């Protein structure tokens, strides 16, 4: 039992923290998110140079021999700075698919480009009617000759506007909600028949509706076994959830500190509002919510390697805790800041919006409570 970071991990954290502080201050981040192209390829290159994009990959995969703990560190620091660049989609998710099920050729083709910062991925899985169910897939991949033909519509695909490649779930057999029959493909966004409508999201990211119209995909771009993609998707999404939890607790840390600082300086009725016992207890509750979120992030990160049921329960438990804590912390931060907390000018509202979106990303609190319940009582 050990909750300590290695000296290398501490160094990694310091590097990222410095990079975020220097390159991603609040005004810069806001400006980037509101202008085209909505991210900074140059910053992405810096990530690559610093080795961030290879941090969680093994040395044999061309990475720096880290693990999910490294992704946790990156995401926590990114959460503190509201970083919009698609580390989650590219490194955690696409990287995760490749690590778990990529063929030697696929790894060869993609991993070095991910680690080097040349390729950016998006994960096209949700659909207009699928809500949060990863098995609810209407997009079809029809076998044809040596490959597949994809047709369908993927909804709110984060980072798709600047992705070079997409990871796409599609149905190779079965009915819309069957767990069998789901397959996973790598599709270059430039492939014929792929079209997108791009838009910003409320939390300052970018996303697309992605349409597939008779898109031909060679069999070599299938990741894992045909029809058996669902458990793979679940495994990767649980890793993405762990990373999101880290991002969320990073965001909560800053939001708590900002609110605490504000409560010590803002005066009402002749004294700092932090003197009022009601606010003191609410700040204490925010602190506890944050501490419990850190605990759950560690918990899920360290349990990603457990057997399937334990891993899923860990991911759902963490997502539930983080969802509730994020709501509490973000709502209270705005409330304690009063009118100022409502403005676009302070970072408070931006953390509020990001934490709100995290709550529903990869399944909201209720969805994960139900998954946890079903696993717990089965």
Partner 1 sequence: MDLHYSAEDLAFRDEVRSFLETSYPDHLRSRASRDEVTKQDFLDWQKILYNRGWGAPAWPKEYGGTGWSSTQKYIFQEECARAETLGVPPFGMSMLAPVLMAFANEKQKSYYLPRILDGTDFWCQGYSEPGAGSDLASLKTRAEKDGDSWVINGQKTWTTLAHFADWIFVLCRTDPTARKPQEGISFILVNIKTPGVEVRPIITMDGGHEVNETWFTDVRVPLENIVGEENQGWTYAKYLLVHERSGIAGVARSKKAVERLKHIASIELDRGEPIIRNADFARKVAELEIDLTALEFTELRTLAREAQGKGAGPESSVLKIKGTEIQQRLTELTLEAVGVYGAPYFRGFPMEGGNQFPIGPDYAHHSAPAYANMRKTSIYGGSNEIQRNIIAKMVLGL
Residues of this chain that interact with a second copy (CB under 8 A) are 276-278, 280-281
Q: Which residues does 257 contact at the CB level (< 8 Å), separation at least 6?
A: none
- Give the pairing of strands 182-188 and 147-158: unpaired
Kindly report the length of the chain: 378
**How many beta carbons lie within 10 A of that of residue 377, not counting itself?**
6
Residue of 97, 341, 354, 355 interacting with partner 1 (CB under 8 A): 341
CB nearer to partner 1: give 155 or 226.
155
Encoded one letter per residue, x for contact with partner 1 by CB under 8 A and - for no contact, window 52-91 reads: -----------------x----------------------
Phi/psi of residue 212, nearest 5 degrees: -115, 120
CB neighbourhood size of 364 (10 A)? 16
Closest CA to 219 of 183, 173, 262: 183
Q: Interface mask (CB under 8 A) for partner 1, residues 350-369, using x and -?
A: x-xx--xx--x---x-x--x
Nearer to a second copy, 277 or 378 (CB): 277
Report, in angstroms and rounded to the nearest whole number, the Rg of the chain calculated over CA atoms.
21
Specify the residue, 40 or 303, whose C-beta has the smaller distance to partner 1: 303
Nearer CB in complex with partner 1: 28/356: 356
Cβ 298 to a second copy shortest distance, Å:
31
Q: Is 288 in the site for partner 1 (CB under 8 A)?
A: yes
Q: Single out the residue of 104, 145, 277, 307 in contact with partner 1 (rule: CB under 8 A).
A: 277
Residue 132: CB minimum distance to partner 1, A: 7
Q: Cβ 266 to a second copy, closest distance in Å? A: 17
Q: Which one of 129, 218, 220, 308 is in contact with partner 1 (CB under 8 A)? A: 129
- Record the tokens describing residue 40, joined without a space: 């900074």
Q: Which is nearer to a second copy, 11 or 280 (CB)?
A: 280
For residue 1, give both structure tokens.
């039992």
Task: Enter the tokens of residue 334.
Answer: 């705005």
Q: Which window, 58-66, 237-245, 247-255, 347-355, contacts partner 1 (CB under 8 A)?
A: 347-355
Minimum CB distance to partner 1 smaller for 17 or for 260 = 260
Can the peptide bond before residue 37 be classed as cis, meaning omega within 30 degrees of 0?
Answer: yes
Q: Is 143 in the site for partner 1 (CB under 8 A)?
A: no
Helix (H, G, I), strand (E, B) or coil at 266: coil
Q: Which residue has the tokens 């998006």?
A: 122
Cα 247 to the center of its chain, rounded Å = 8
Q: Alpha-carbon distance 79 to 58, whole Å?
A: 24
Min CB(279)–a second copy separation in Å: 9
**Partner interacting with residue 260 (select from a second copy, partner 1, none; CB below 5-8 Å by kind):** partner 1
Q: Give yes or no for a contact between 210 and 255, defined as CB atoms under 8 angstroms apart.
A: no
202 backbone dihedrals φ, ψ, rounded to 5°: -60, -25
Binding residue (CB under 8 A) for partner 1 from 71, 90, 126, 169: 126
Q: Which is nearer to a second copy, 113 or 275 (CB)?
A: 275
Measure the CA–CA gap between 33 and 154, rounded to whole angstroms. 23
Is 177 a binding residue for partner 1 by CB under 8 A? The answer is: yes
């Amino acid at each position: 039992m050990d909750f300590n970071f290695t000296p290398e991990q501490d160094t990694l954290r310091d590097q990222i923290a410095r990079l975020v502080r220097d390159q991603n201050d609040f005004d810069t981040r806001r400006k980037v998110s509101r202008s085209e192209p909505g991210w900074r390829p140059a910053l992405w290159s810096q990530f690559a140079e610093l080795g961030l994009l290879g941090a969680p990959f093994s040395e044999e995969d061309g990475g720096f021999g880290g693990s999910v703990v490294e992704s946790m560190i990156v995401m926590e620091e990114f959460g503190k700075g509201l970083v919009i660049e698609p580390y989650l989609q590219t490194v955690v998710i696409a990287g995760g698919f490749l690590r778990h099920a990529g063929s030697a050729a696929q790894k060869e083709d993609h991993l070095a480009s991910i680690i080097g910062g040349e390729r950016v991925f998006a994960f096209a899985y949700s659909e207009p009617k699928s809500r949060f169910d990863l098995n609810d897939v209407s997009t079809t991949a029809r076998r044809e000759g040596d490959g597949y033909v994809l047709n369908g519509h993927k909804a709110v695909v984060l980072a798709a506007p600047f992705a070079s490649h997409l990871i796409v779930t599609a149905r190779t057999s079965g009915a819309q909600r069957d767990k069998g029959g789901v397959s996973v493909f790598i599709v270059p966004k430039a492939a014929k028949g792929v079209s997108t409508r791009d838009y910003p999201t409320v939390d300052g990211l970018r996303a697309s509706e992605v349409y597939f119209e008779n898109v031909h995909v060679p069999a070599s771009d299938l990741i894992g076994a045909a029809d058996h993609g669902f458990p793979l998707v679940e495994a990767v999404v649980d890793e993405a959830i762990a990373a999101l939890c880290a991002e969320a607790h990073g965001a909560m840390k800053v939001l708590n500190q900002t609110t605490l600082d504000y409560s010590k300086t803002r005066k009402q009725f002749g004294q700092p509002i932090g003197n009022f016992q009601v606010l003191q207890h609410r700040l204490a509750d925010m602190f506890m919510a944050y501490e419990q979120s850190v605990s759950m992030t560690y918990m899920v990160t360290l349990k990603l390697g457990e057997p399937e049921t334990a891993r899923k329960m860990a991911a759902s438990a963490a997502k539930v805790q983080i969802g509730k804590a994020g709501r509490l912390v973000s709502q209270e931060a705005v409330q304690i800041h009063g009118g100022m907390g409502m403005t676009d000018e302070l970072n408070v509202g931006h953390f509020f919006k990001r934490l709100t979106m995290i709550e529903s990303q990869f399944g909201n609190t209720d969805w994960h409570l139900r998954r946890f319940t079903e696993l717990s009582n089965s």
